[in-house]
């Protein structure tokens, strides 16, 4: 068989497990915030690979890091360590509350590590009774069996047999609901400092401060899942910085590698010591290629001009979407923070977010959904203002067709 043969959407159905239903469009090249498919059609990327491509496509700093490290060393097991992993860990420690880092390959694995660490910390310090984990309805923490159970959407965890136990869910932004569940048997609380998959929902200041205070009262660890909100997405390096509430454990992935798979768990020395030698591990975690690219992405994003730019671009999206809505009245609310923006469909368009995504694709702009009734935008953090304007103009054409 030749190395090169025709690839189209039908081949997916032939060779891939059917848990995805991808678009017929097959992108083959990207540069900045533009992508081209097999036919040469150009798209503006407002999706960012689901908040991953924080510097767009083929950013020179990332390409350079990949090429340079690719000619040095690709992989070492954690029987050894390597320069890129330690450099990236040092920069993350220097820039956050954390004192210790654990590397993984994905957000789910980072969350898995955080949950296992919290359980082990509680067992060592308080005994087996302290094992309850509280998270929030509509939350999303990954697809491993532990993380999907902690995630607050039963549809994702049902149908796979008995679930990991002692996991309960409160209402997000409802402190009373949370108070009813937390006790001295709670070992950890996992929350997103802005719910992503669950609908681009920001926490109130009262809520997030109340959760932190109740965790303190009950000796429970507060875990912030910043897989989607981290690495500049909200206009802060990590979203906790804008909330003035510091977690005990934080998880990061998605944008951390700018498109190269990498995840991390960040915590303090005092908590980290409970993952003793042999308690947890990862074959690829801390991979030199991933960490070299991650270091380049982290360095580029962790710059005040870039972070300030995110806040300026947020306004362009909010203003642009509101202007579209004044003409077509399809959104009941535009919400989110930084470049994680959700346009909530009105009653008349409930359940039709996918239709907007498909129509936008036809007009040459890539968007996302967050649930059935919210159109989500998570572009490059350095998307040029001209690309925002052009992408919104294309999106308006899609809206106009659906609003007829």
What DSSP string describes 228-283?
TTTTTTTSSSSTHHHHT---SEEEE-GGGGTTS--EEEEE-HHHHTTS-TTS---S
Q: Is 225 assigned to a binding site?
A: yes
Reading across the β-sheet that carries 374-377, which strands appear in turn?
331-337, 340-345, 374-377, 368-369
Q: Is 227 assigned to a binding site?
A: yes
Confidence of residue 5 (pLDDT cuts 50, 70, 90): confident
For the stretch 239-279, pLDDT in tens is: 999 999 999 999 999 999 999 999 999 999 999 999 999 99
pLDDT value, residue 1: 47
What's the gap between Cα 107 and its chain centre? Answer: 7
Q: Is 107 assigned to a binding site?
A: yes
Give the three-state DSSP class for 377: strand
Q: Is 177 assigned to a binding site?
A: no
CA angle 284, 286, 289 (to 5 degrees): 85
Q: Is 318 assigned to a binding site?
A: no
Q: What are phi and psi of 397, to 5 degrees?
A: -60, -40
Cα distances from 322 to residues 177, 202, 310, 316, 331, in angstroms, run: 33, 19, 18, 10, 8
8 Å CB contact between 264 and 103: yes
Least confident of 19-23, 183-187, 230-234: 19-23
For the stretch 132-163, pLDDT in tens is: 999 999 999 999 999 999 999 999 999 999 99
Reading across the β-sheet that carries 221-225, which strands appear in turn?
100-104, 263-267, 249-252, 221-225, 186-191, 132-136, 167-170
- pLDDT over 80 (residue 404): no
Q: Is 143 assigned to a binding site?
A: yes
pLDDT value, residue 2: 54
Tokens 């992508």 belong to residue: 35
8 Å CB contact between 147 and 192: no
Average pLDDT over residues 106-124: 98
- CA proximity to 371, closest of 198, 169, 148, 155: 198
Q: Kindly report the pTM of this predicted structure.
A: 0.96
pLDDT value, residue 3: 73
Q: What are phi and psi of 17, to 5 degrees?
A: -60, 140
State the distance between the two ends of the chain, measured CA to CA, in whole angstroms: 49
For the stretch 340-386, pLDDT in tens is: 999 999 999 999 999 999 999 999 999 999 999 999 999 999 999 99
What the chain holds in terms of domains, given with CATH numbers, is: 9-58+304-402 (3.90.1150.10), 73-301 (3.40.640.10)
């Amino acid at each position: 068989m030749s190395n090169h043969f025709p690839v189209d959407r039908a081949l997916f159905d032939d060779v891939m497990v059917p848990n995805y239903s991808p678009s017929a469009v097959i992108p083959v090249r990207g540069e900045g915030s533009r992508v081209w498919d097999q036919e040469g059609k150009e798209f503006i990327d407002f999706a960012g690979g689901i908040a991953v491509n924080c510097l767009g496509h083929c950013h020179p700093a990332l390409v350079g890091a990949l090429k340079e490290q690719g000619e040095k060393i690709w992989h070492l097991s954690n029987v050894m360590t390597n320069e890129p992993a330690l450099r990236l860990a040092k920069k993350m420690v220097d820039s956050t509350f954390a004192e210790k880092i654990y590397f993984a390959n994905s957000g789910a694995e980072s969350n898995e590590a955080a949950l296992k660490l919290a359980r082990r910390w509680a067992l060592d310090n308080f005994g087996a009774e302290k094992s309850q984990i509280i998270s929030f309805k509509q939350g999303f923490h990954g697809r491993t069996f532990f993380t999907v159970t902690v995630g607050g959407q039963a549809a994702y965890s049902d149908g796979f047999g008995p679930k990991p136990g002692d996991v309960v869910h409160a209402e997000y932004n409802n402190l009373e609901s949370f108070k009813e569940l937390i006790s001295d048997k709670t070992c950890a609380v996992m929350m997103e400092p802005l719910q992503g998959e669950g609908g681009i929902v920001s926490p109130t200041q009262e809520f997030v401060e109340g959760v932190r205070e109740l965790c303190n009262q009950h000796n429970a660890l507060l875990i912030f899942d910043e897989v989607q909100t981290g690495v500049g997405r909200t206009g802060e390096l990590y979203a906790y910085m804008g909330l003035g509430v510091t977690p005990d454990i934080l998880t990061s992935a998605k944008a951390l590698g700018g498109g190269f798979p990498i995840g991390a768990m960040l915590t303090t020395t005092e908590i980290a010591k409970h993952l003793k030698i042999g308690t947890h591990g990862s074959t690829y975690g801390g991979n030199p290629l991933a960490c070299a690219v991650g270091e380049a992405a982290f360095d580029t994003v962790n710059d005040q001009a870039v972070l300030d730019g995110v806040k300026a671009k947020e306004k362009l999206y909010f203003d642009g979407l509101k202007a579209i809505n004044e003409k077509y009245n399809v959104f009941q609310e535009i919400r989110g923070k930084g470049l994680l923006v959700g346009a909530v469909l009105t009653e008349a368009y409930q359940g039709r977010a996918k239709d907007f995504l498909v129509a936008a694709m036809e007009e040459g702009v890539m968007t996302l959904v967050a649930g059935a009734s919210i159109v989500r935008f998570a572009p490059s953090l350095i998307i040029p203002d001209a690309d925002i304007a052009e992408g919104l103009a294309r999106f308006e054409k899609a809206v106009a067709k659906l609003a007829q």
